[in-house]
Structure 1
Amino acid sequence: MSTDADMQWLDQPIKPICKQSMQTAAQHQTQLTKPLGALGELETVVVRLAGMQGRVKPDIDGVQISVFAADHGIAASGVSAYPQEVTAQMVMNFAMGGAAVSVLARHLQAEFEVVNLGTLTELPPHDAVVSRVIAAGTLDFSSEAAMSDAQVHQALAVGCERIDACAEKHPDLFIAGEMGIGNTSAASAIAAALLQLPAAQLVGPGTGLDPEQVALKAARIQQALDFHTLRADQPLEILRCVGGFEIAAMTGAYIRATQQGIPVLIDGFISTAAAMVAVALKPDVKDWLLYGHCSEEPAHRLLLDHLEGTPLLSLGMRLGEGSGAALAVDILRSACRLHAEMATFADAGVSDKETEA
């Protein structure tokens, strides 16, 4: 059981962004052999990375990808197109390297792990699975709190622990993925409570529901919101009442990564909901967040707008797992290489606007 002492890490400050590195990186951009702004978001993101990494020429060599998995009690009410057994099956697929994010992690030469916080189907021990089981999934949040106080604290602490475990390798970037049948319902409920919006404005098809099923899903989530009567200024209570173990672990990981000075690349709808909780708990987390893509889940854009996040990609994806963020890593790496390796006007003997004037 978690105690107040176990949660003292949450009170630690978020590492400040290095504004001097950002200013110098922005000035360097003005000297490169291109019109200012011609590389669009690549210029913006590399300047932000400079501030996060505290160096004028940042890079993204070491990448840590951690996929957090857990089941959800709400899934038993039919809010997903897939049975809950799929969560455990996918954990083993991650472990064996067959999932989409596993393939992308190999391509990126990223450090990769899958963390099991509790599946309905018990999993056998596996060397490639980090077992941090809290329970066999959360409770059905439409009629009771998804987690106890101790459980939400324990899940947050798992995220913290996984960052501390990788911090000695000094990763340049952290990506959290997720797996859990029913977790788009939990993410929708979290976002609805934080934004104080009706569930119908945030609920989408998830794993592939038809319109009638989406309407039933929205009704179920609205039932939960009406039952819990959560306020927007209660992020931890929102997470406890309608969240999931894996979403809480992602929240903890985002906070701990930014305390450690590790840039975070957010994936899709569920990851962004976790980021909203992290920012609500620790507003300075926001300075360390980059956004890999805008997913096909209809409300993801609403969440991105709330966080003032600009996604690097928009490919109609809705897989989760961290897959969209993993795809965006090569974009970040390209931005860093362009920033570091392009010639300046002076180096290339090219006239810029001021010279021509």
Structure 2
Amino acid sequence: MSRFASLAAFDAALADMPIADADAIAAARARQASLTKPAGSLGRLEDIAVLMAGWQGTAQPVIEHGRAAIFAGNHGFVVHGVSAFPASVTAAMVANFAAGGAAINALAKAAGLNLQVIALDLDRPTADFTTAAAMDEAECLAALSAGAAAVEPGLHLLVVGEMGIGNSTAAAALCARSYGGTPASWVGPGTGVDADGIARKVVVVEQALACHADAPDTPFEILRRLGGREIAAIAGAVLEARRLHIPVVLDGFISCAALAPLAAAVPAITDHCLAGHCSAEPGHIRLLGHLDLDPLLSLGMRLGEGSGAALAVSIIRAALATHNGMATFAQAGVADSL
């Protein structure tokens, strides 16, 4: 049975999210305090280890089974010229993923992650959201469920990413509806459009917001009207990971925007999440502020594919290596007065 077989199932998942294990957090903090270093001297590496401990429910978390789940979808509004590339590139890139030739293939391998690529009805783009809802209720629930299906018990870490020509336009619309601000304040170059392309994107987002201005202001309705299949799938994967106490690494603007409608209503949705990086897309840093997430990296990346999140896994592994591998003051015979 689909994880999100009904709107009630989605609403219930959002209303009843597990919280981190307080005992594991306390034990991890106690271990940090016992390691041979001045208190707090490893900065955010210590915080990452504690967060991982809280969600894995153990004082010494690991990443033996990590997964990068990359979702792909196509959008009907690309007919308005919002991307530097045609919609056919989505399928071409999915084929490149399958052949092992994309950046995410190399980065997932380097990070020790199992890579799964889930293509969602690429031959059937969402509706043009300037005139209709991107998805009907059944389509959105199916996309949410496809995301959840990529997550299974036993994973220690989940990286989420996307591929979908035009989807930075959908992300801008989701952010503007969820957090306010003008479309121009959320729209960026995406795949690299020029000033005229950005202007077209602004108009498309304005039209979409106007078309759905009277729609119910709920996470599901915002997601199904202004999102896309790959974007809804990311939301479903993050929700399922939360149910299973699996920490998540978010990628760039689009991946984070998948949570915008949910987080605007239930800010705690990001408690089990880390922001892998801050992308070069100008709206991303602003969105991270709304999500209360501090990115691990800022390298000017804007590729998508989960690439920035996969790269950040090396930082998370380093955090766990120090947390689990360092000697305690007692083991080293060092006075605990550093």
TM-score by length of 2: 0.93
Residue pair 2:169, 2:187 contacting (<8 A) in 1 also? yes
Alignment partner of 1:250 is 2:234: yes
Which of 87, 90, 94 in structure 2 is aligned with 1:91? Answer: 94
Using a 3 Å threshold, how does the CA distance of structure 1 residues 75 and 5 change in structure 2: closer, same or farther?
Answer: closer
Which of 50, 54, 77 in structure 2 is aligned with 1:74? Answer: 77
Equivalent position amino acid for 1:235 in 2: P
Q: Which residue of 2 aligns with 1:153?
A: 141
Residue pair 1:179, 1:321 contacting (<8 A) in 2 also? yes
Residues 225-284 of structure 1 deviation map (CA, whole Å, 9 limit, x = unaligned):
122116794221111111101001111111011111111111110000112234346554
Equivalent position amino acid for 2:25 in 1: M
Which of 267, 270, 276 in structure 1 is aligned with 2:251? Answer: 267
Question: What is the alpha-carbon distance in structure 1 between the residues aligned to residue 69 and residue 143 of structure 2?
Answer: 14
Residues 117-139 of structure 1 deviation map (CA, whole Å, 9 limit, x = unaligned):
1224xxxxxxxxxxxxxxx1111
Which of 315, 320, 345 in structure 1 is aligned with 2:299? Answer: 315
The within-5 A match list for 1:135-146 is 136-146=124-134
Which of 143, 165, 178 in structure 2 is aligned with 1:194? Answer: 178
Residues 94-119 of structure 1 deviation map (CA, whole Å, 9 limit, x = unaligned):
11111111112222332221111122
Residues 142-166 of structure 1 deviation map (CA, whole Å, 9 limit, x = unaligned):
1221111221111111112222xx3
Question: What is the alpha-carbon distance in structure 1 between the residues aligned to residue 292 and residue 3 of structure 2?
Answer: 34
Which of 279, 282, 302 in structure 1 is aligned with 2:286? Answer: 302
Alignment partner of 1:238 is 2:222: yes
Alignment partner of 1:210 is 2:221: no
Question: What is the alpha-carbon distance in structure 2 between the residues aligned to residue 238 and residue 9 of structure 1?
Answer: 17
Alignment partner of 1:346 is 2:330: yes
Question: What is the alpha-carbon distance in structure 1 between the residues aligned to residue 333 and residue 314 of structure 2?
Answer: 30
Residue pair 2:179, 2:264 contacting (<8 A) in 1 also? no
Alignment partner of 1:27 is 2:30: yes
Which of 16, 19, 24 in structure 1 is aligned with 2:19? Answer: 16
Residues 61-109 of structure 1 deviation map (CA, whole Å, 9 limit, x = unaligned):
2111111111111111011011111001001011111111111222233
Question: What is the alpha-carbon distance in structure 2 between the residues aligned to residue 79 and residue 217 of structure 1?
Answer: 5
Alignment partner of 1:293 is 2:285: no
Query: How many positions carry a matched residue from both structures?
Result: 334
Alignment partner of 1:180 is 2:164: yes
Equivalent position amino acid for 1:322 in 2: G
Equivalent position amino acid for 1:33 in 2: T
Task: Give the SS at the match of 2:303.
Answer: coil
Deviation at 1:290, TM superposition (A): 1.1
* Worse overlay, 148-157 or 100-109: 100-109
**CA RMSD in angstroms, aligned pairs only:** 2.0
Percent identity, please: 46
Equivalent position amino acid for 2:131 in 1: S
Deviation at 1:286, TM superposition (A): 2.0
Task: Give the SS at the match of 1:141.
Answer: coil
Task: Give the SS at the match of 1:16.
Answer: coil
Task: Give the SS at the match of 1:310.
Answer: coil
Q: Which residue of 1 aligns with 2:46?
A: 43
Question: What is the alpha-carbon distance in structure 1 between the residues aligned to residue 169 and residue 5 of structure 2?
Answer: 32
Q: Which residue of 2 aligns with 1:162?
A: 150
Q: Which residue of 2 aligns with 1:132?
A: none
Task: Give the SS at the match of 1:255.
Answer: helix
Residues 174-212 of structure 1 deviation map (CA, whole Å, 9 limit, x = unaligned):
112111100000011001100022111100100001223
Residue pair 2:4, 2:145 contacting (<8 A) in 1 also? no
Structure 2 stretches of 5 or more lacking a match? none
Using a 3 Å threshold, how does the CA distance of structure 1 residues 162 and 278 change in structure 2: closer, same or farther?
Answer: farther
Question: What is the alpha-carbon distance in structure 1 between the residues aligned to residue 34 and residue 68 of structure 2?
Answer: 34
